[in-house]
Amino acid sequence: MSDPVKMIDVSGKETVYRSATAVGCIKLKKTTVATIKERGIKKGDPLTVGEVAAILAVKKTPELIPLCHNIPISQVDVTYSFKEDRIEARCSVITNAQTGVEMEALMGVTTALLNIWDMTKYLEKDENGQYPDAEITGIKVLEKRKGA
């Protein structure tokens, strides 16, 4: 029989500065990346929407990951860099808390990338309605820090 599921007790831990940065990429057709750069996406700017969605996702992380602590978020920063056929997103999160913000950073970067996919999917579909080129990859924590 497995152990019961429980949230870890962090009440005895000191409140300290903590930060985490997560990264991920969305591979798209070269023409889709060019259309994003030219601000030609029908729904609007997917980078701006992705940034706002990432901030919201960071704040809602404990609602989606049941054993994640609800912690105060001090700052969320989302940045993008372009390659010919992909966009890399980075999400950095800062808190002063008893536990870290890795899950929040991962949730933020993933949500940013999913929103880019949603806003560009009409350009990515093939004649059968499939997405042969679109792919989200490389989601990971780049760095986490604890203390000053």
Tokens (6 digits) for 76: 């969320």
Tokens (6 digits) for 125: 């579909």
Q: Residue 50: phi, psi to the nearest 5?
A: -60, -40
A 10 A CB-CB count for 94 gives 19
Which amino acid, one-letter code, is at 27?
K
Q: How many helices (H) and strands (E) does the chain have?
A: 3, 4
Instruction: Please indicate whether residue 118 is annotated as part of the active site.
Output: yes
Closest CA relative to residue 120, chosen from 57, 56, 47: 47
* Active-site residue identified among 85, 118, 126, 133: 118
Positions marked catalytic: 118
